[in-house]
Every structure is written in C-alpha cells, then in structure tokens.
Chains A and B, each alone.
Chain A
C-alpha cells in the first residue's frame, strides 16, 4: 500500500501528486471497525442509565430547553448536506461510479465555505464560543467518564451544554474542515470556474503536491468522522441529542438528566 501517488514534473523531479486512494479504503474500514468496536464495547460495558432527576431538580425549568437555535441548526444541516455532496462527489468516481463530479464538488465546496464563514461569525458574536471549546478539565472528565463506563471509577460531573465527546468531535471536524477549505480554495485555481482566474503557477509543483495531499488526507479523515457521527446520531441513547438538532430543543428532563445547570445556565 502506498501513502502518496508520485509523478514527474517537466524538470524531471519526482513530486507528490496526491494522497494514495488506498487510504480511502483504510479510513472507511477504520470507520466501520470503530462502529463495530463501539458496539462490542457497549455490549461488554452497557450504558449506565443516569438517575431520574428529582422534582427539586426539575423545579423552575421550562418544558422545552433550547439547545440549538434555528440559525445553528440551519448551519449544521447545510454543512452536513454540503459535506455529504463533497464526499460522494470526491469518492464515488474513485470507486468506479463515473459522473460529472467536479462541478458538484466545487459548488458544494463553495456552499461549505459560506456556511462555515456564517458559523464563525455566528459563534463569535452571537453564541457562547467557549462552550464547545475543549479545556484540560474536559479531557480529564472524558477519561473519568471512560473509566466509569468500564466500572472502575465514580461518574464525572455532568457536563455543561456540550459533553466531552461533542467537543472532541467538533474539534476534529474543525481541523479537518479548515484543512479542506484552505486547500480547496487553492485548488480552485487549478480548474475552470466562474469564480477565479485559473492560475496553475500559483504554487510550485511541490507545494501543489502538498496541497493535494492535505486535501485528500482531510477528505479520507472526514469519511471516518462522518461514519462515526452518523453512527452516534442513530444510537438510541444519543437520539435525544439528534432530535435536538432537528427540533432545536430538549425536554427539561433531558436537561436535568444530562447537564449541569451550573455549567449550562439557562437564560430567559
């Protein structure tokens, strides 16, 4: 198995052309292995149900607690749709389904870029930016939660708005998405679009090679991340979170069960 595909430039230099697509199958397999591994893990260490909230804990809470505003949900689903189009248009031709993929791909990329810019502005100016940021204590609590699930330690404190798994996934998607966006914008200069004037001399051959490799690497990592994300979204014990991304709210019982009201204080 190769990690990169190599070519020869007009000066006879060996340059990396792109990531080897063997890695697509590696990361897709890793995604499936992760899902199966997690299923086995849950079989060995079943989910420990959280205690029912007391009436005291439920007191004063609204029936519906808003977890994701309409603006956040719109971003999530637009990003999800564009990401799926990007992945399918990128990888279907590689597995043998031939179609006019490039037009779909760059248009979906533009949609992704616009949605991410929107999200950045929304998160910085209209949301609690740090609620989804990972801190050292999150990592510590994540490890404690893992030990607890395996029966060798006390349960960690309830999280704020986002549990450690949510934050970790967000961070992974953030890095991967920014990588595909930055490299994707550069790659727009290699194809004919109405957006930018084509300029294949923008970077050196070696730099283009690195750009293509990073774009491909981010793409195959995203395959793994999407498989994991969809798996957790359909898991029965996580569906309250999935529903909140559709409806926008969680019940006061879910709020009191899964969240620490001190760490995620409700506003009016």
Chain B
C-alpha cells in the first residue's frame, strides 16, 4: 500500500535540451526511464514510492516540444510540452479549434494548467485509487481488480471496455482531439510515426499495463490538428463532482459539420466511461445526413449507451453519458 513520504526514491535526473538527446536517454534506460513533462502525475507516483524509475528524463528544457505552429495544410501542430494554459489561450486554437480550447480548459485548475502540459494530460495514468494506492491489481501486474468486487468503491469506474481492469481514462483533452481527428506524432530512436488519436489509447484487453500505444523509448512530441475539422461546430461538456477542479465523471466532445439543420458529418467521443477515450462511430454513422432534432438526439443518446455494463456504484454514468450525447447533438455551442 502506498505510504506518502516527504522524500522520493533516488533516481538519476536528466535534463536534455533536445529531442534527440531525450530519445537517446530513453533508449539507454528503456523501461527504467521515466519521461517527465509537467511532473503533476509523476511526482504523485514518486512520492507514493510506487514508481521507482532509475532515470527521470525531464523534458522541460526542450524548446522544440513547446509551442503552436501552423501546418502546410492549414492545420495546427501543438508541441507536446505546450502547457494547457498555452493551448487554452492561443489565438489560433481559440478561433479555429475551440473544442480543444474548451476541453483543455476543463482540465484541473488554473495553477495546474500553468504547469501541466498537453502531452501530460493525454498520457496521464488512470486515477483508480486501488491502483494508485499500490495494490497489486491487474494493472499493477497482479491477478485481481480490487475496484470490481462486490464491496468496491467504483463510482468513478468504467461502464464500457472492461477487461479485468475497470479503471477509466481521465483526460479532458483526449475526447476533443479524437473529435478533431488529431494525429499523434511519436518519435523514438528508430524514427517517427504518426498515430490517429482514436488509436493512441489502448484498453486493458490489449495491454493492461499501459494506457497508450507508447512503449519504452517512445516520446509523444506533438499533436497535429488537421484543417478538415477546423471550424466544425464544437460541443464540449464535462460533468464532475466539484466544478472548480476535478476529474471527469463523464465528458463528451463533438465536432459537427452542419448544412442548415442537416448533419453532414460528425465526430463524437466520450471519456471517463472506459479505460480509453471512446469514439462513438456507430452514433456518427446514424447521424450523418440526419436532421438535428430531439428525436435524432434521443436516438443518438440511446445508441451511445447500448452495451453499457455498470458496476455496483456507477450505474448513474449510463443516463449521464446518454444525456451528454443528446446535448451534443442538440448543439449548444461552446
């Protein structure tokens, strides 16, 4: 069980100033390396003495990983180390991708957004307290899910995608990026690869120890927002226990291309309902060509929650998710 102490376990601290230098360090230390962005998730793990990396690679000194740049296709590229405040306050993000601006602003508190980065928000680990407290659960390499027992505290856990582990992905910006068809730029010593946002997060059925496709040696360097979904009608909503600062109970993000009252195209995603952000492709399919109406919203909401399996204490998430999807279709602009 986790014991919070004043001091962290010893590790080698590296502060590279270039991506290549960082990749060299990540390659050298492999699974024993811990790439650190804003440090908000990292220091929890270190101080609880649950994660004991041999080397911490502080990415804060790599200028190339910061900033918002224009892309040749008219889209934007956001460095993974750009702070959430930097994303939220950037003029191009606000004007062309307000969905991301609102999603990123929904995360945490102003102080945390000043320190926390977009990359860190995207790859943060799950907040399941059994896991975070250091129990030897499935995700921690054990053979049990403490959150999925008859007496477990699982109010915040998943209603979709459980495979032994029932934890959820807590990112607020992740569903916005899926809705915007973002591309995740990943680098390692062998080169660069670009992964669709919807494929970036993986569930426990694929690998119960990881939340994303990132493997030891990989570094998320940037997020690309294609021009195709810029200026699409956005909708973002997050439900949380405390309005001032909390992880989502459910959040929804949609980007909709509308002609009159007809939905020409739509991408919609929810988070905090599964171990990974969920793109609702079945919902999208019935919405293309549909009229925006209460009936359409009802159909979309009902379809969105089909197959949901609640745990002992999180059945409320089913109507909550349904209603958020309905509200996204009704389309109160953010």
Q: Looking across the interface, which residue of chain B has its beta carbon closest to that of A5?
A: B141
Q: Tell which of B140, B143, B144, B146 has the most Cβ of chain A within 10 Å.
A: B143
Among A102, A190, A192, A198, which residue has its beta carbon within 8 angstroms of that of B143? A190
CA distance A9 to B146 in the complex (A): 10
Among B1, B150, B162, B202, which residue has its beta carbon within 8 angstroms of that of A192? B162
Contact B205 A103 (CB under 8 A): yes
Asked whether B296 is an interface residue with its Cβ less than 8 Å from the other chain, the reply is: no
Given contacts A12-B1, A190-B164, A201-B150, contact A7 B207 (CB under 8 A): no
Contact B206 A17 (CB under 8 A): no
Given contacts A10-B135, A98-B207, contact A212 B143 (CB under 8 A): yes
In the complex, which residues of chain A have a beta carbon less than 8 angstroms from the beta carbon of B189?
none
Asked whether B163 is an interface residue with its Cβ less than 8 Å from the other chain, the reply is: yes
In the complex, which residues of chain A have a beta carbon less than 8 angstroms from the beta carbon of B136?
7-9, 17
Q: Tell which of A93, A99, A198 has the most Cβ of chain B within 10 Å.
A: A198
Asked whether B27 is an interface residue with its Cβ less than 8 Å from the other chain, the reply is: no
In the complex, which residues of chain A have a beta carbon less than 8 angstroms from the beta carbon of B134?
8
CA distance A99 to B204 in the complex (A): 10
* CB within 8 Å of A: which B146-167 residues: 146, 148-150, 162-164
Contact B149 A200 (CB under 8 A): yes
CA distance A200 to B140 in the complex (A): 17
CA distance A104 to B135 in the complex (A): 28
Q: Looking across the interface, which residue of chain B has its beta carbon closest to that of A101?
A: B205
In the complex, which residues of chain B have a beta carbon less than 8 angstroms from the beta carbon of A7?
136, 140-143
Asked whether A266 is an interface residue with its Cβ less than 8 Å from the other chain, the reply is: no
CA distance A94 to B215 in the complex (A): 14
Q: Looking across the interface, which residue of chain A has its beta carbon closest to that of B206?
A: A98
Nearest CB of chain A from residue B218's CB, rounded to whole Å: 14
Asked whether B145 is an interface residue with its Cβ less than 8 Å from the other chain, the reply is: yes
Asked whether A208 is an interface residue with its Cβ less than 8 Å from the other chain, the reply is: yes
Q: Looking across the interface, which residue of chain B has its beta carbon closest to that of A18?
A: B143
CA distance A103 to B162 in the complex (A): 12
Chain B proximity mask over A1-23: 1 for CB below 8 Å, otherwise 0: 00001011110100001100000
Given contacts A8-B136, A192-B163, contact A102 B205 (CB under 8 A): yes
Contact B148 A198 (CB under 8 A): yes
Interface size grouping (class) on chain B: 20 to 34
In the complex, which residues of chain A have a beta carbon less than 8 angstroms from the beta carbon of B205?
100-103
Q: Looking across the interface, which residue of chain A has its beta carbon closest to that of B149?
A: A200
CA distance A12 to B309 in the complex (A): 31
In the complex, which residues of chain B have a beta carbon less than 8 angstroms from the beta carbon of A201?
149-150
CA distance A18 to B140 in the complex (A): 13
CA distance A124 to B1 in the complex (A): 52
In the complex, which residues of chain B have a beta carbon less than 8 angstroms from the beta carbon of A209?
143
Asked whether A191 is an interface residue with its Cβ less than 8 Å from the other chain, the reply is: yes
Contact A200 B207 (CB under 8 A): no
Contact B149 A93 (CB under 8 A): no
Nearest CB of chain B from residue A260's CB, rounded to whole Å: 50
Among B149, B164, B202, which residue has its beta carbon within 8 angstroms of that of A191? B164
Contact B143 A100 (CB under 8 A): no
* CB within 8 Å of B: which A1-49 residues: 5, 7-10, 12, 17-18
CA distance A9 to B136 in the complex (A): 7
CA distance A107 to B3 in the complex (A): 40
Contact A17 B142 (CB under 8 A): yes
Contact A8 B144 (CB under 8 A): no
Nearest CB of chain B from residue A20's CB, rounded to whole Å: 12
Nearest CB of chain B from residue A108's CB, rounded to whole Å: 15
In the complex, which residues of chain A have a beta carbon less than 8 angstroms from the beta carbon of B163?
100, 102, 191-192
CA distance A93 to B204 in the complex (A): 12
* CB within 8 Å of B: which A168-208 residues: 190-192, 198, 200-201, 205, 208
Q: Looking across the interface, which residue of chain B has its beta carbon closest to that of A96?
A: B215
In the complex, which residues of chain A have a beta carbon less than 8 angstroms from the beta carbon of B309?
192
Q: Looking across the interface, which residue of chain B has its beta carbon closest to that of A209?
A: B143
Contact B149 A100 (CB under 8 A): no
Contact B206 A200 (CB under 8 A): no
What are 23 of the A-B contact pairs (CB < 8 Å)?
Answer: A5-B141, A7-B142, A7-B143, A8-B1, A8-B136, A9-B136, A10-B135, A10-B146, A12-B1, A17-B136, A17-B143, A98-B207, A100-B206, A101-B205, A102-B163, A102-B164, A102-B205, A103-B205, A191-B164, A192-B163, A192-B164, A208-B144, A209-B143
Residues of B within 8 A of A (CB): 1, 134-136, 140-146, 148-150, 162-164, 202, 205-207, 309
Extra pairs beyond A17-B136, A102-B164 (19, CB < 8 Å):
A7-B136, A7-B141, A7-B142, A8-B134, A8-B136, A10-B146, A18-B143, A103-B205, A190-B143, A191-B163, A192-B163, A192-B164, A198-B148, A200-B145, A200-B148, A201-B149, A201-B150, A205-B144, A209-B143
Top 4 nearest A-B pairs (CB, nearest first) are: A7-B136, A100-B205, A7-B142, A98-B207
